[in-house]
């Protein structure tokens, strides 16, 4: 967190921490209702709450989606596979088994 949080972002962030949830974990069909309750709990208007959430996402506090994580996991798997395939012991096992 390089940039300081605005007061609205801080209040919204603390509420997300208290609820132990991130914006991308909320199902889309429940998001509008969740956002309304979050705004009420934080004593903010709906637009200010939306802006605060977007600010937190823009600052990297929350991911906008899980797509980046999936890509990272796939990349890590490819790296591990590549390392294994270049290991002499694994190559020998592969020759003997297949």
Locate 21 and state its tokens.
């949830």
Locate 91 and state its tokens.
């190559």
Neighbours of 34 (CB within 10 A): 14
| pTM, to two decimals | 0.62
37 compared with 96, residue with greater pLDDT:
37
What is the chain's mean pLDDT, rounded? 82
Query: Is residue 22 pLDDT above 60, yes or no?
Result: yes
- Phi first, then psi: give them for residue 96, nearest 5 degrees: -70, -30
Residue 26 shares a structural domain with residue 70:
no
Locate 2 and state its tokens.
């390089």
Domain that holds residue 70: 66-98
Residue 60 shares a structural domain with residue 13:
yes
Residue 57 shares a structural domain with residue 88:
no
Residue 45 shares a structural domain with residue 78:
no
State the pLDDT confidence band at 52, using cuts at 50, 70 and 90.
very high
Q: Is 70 helix (H, G, I), strand (E, B) or coil?
A: helix
State the pLDDT confidence band at 43, using cuts at 50, 70 and 90.
very high
Query: Is residue 93 pLDDT above 90, yes or no?
Result: no
């Amino acid at each position: 967190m390089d940039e300081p949080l605005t007061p609205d972002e801080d209040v919204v962030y603390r509420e997300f921490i208290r609820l132990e949830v991130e914006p991308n974990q909320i199902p889309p069909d429940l998001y509008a209702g969740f956002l309304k309750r979050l705004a009420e709990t934080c004593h903010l208007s709906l637009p200010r709450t939306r802006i605060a959430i977007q600010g937190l996402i823009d600052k990297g506090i929350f991911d906008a989606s899980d797509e980046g994580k999936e890509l990272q996991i796939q990349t890590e798997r490819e790296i591990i596979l590549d390392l294994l395939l270049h290991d002499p012991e694994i190559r020998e096992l592969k020759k003997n088994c297949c």
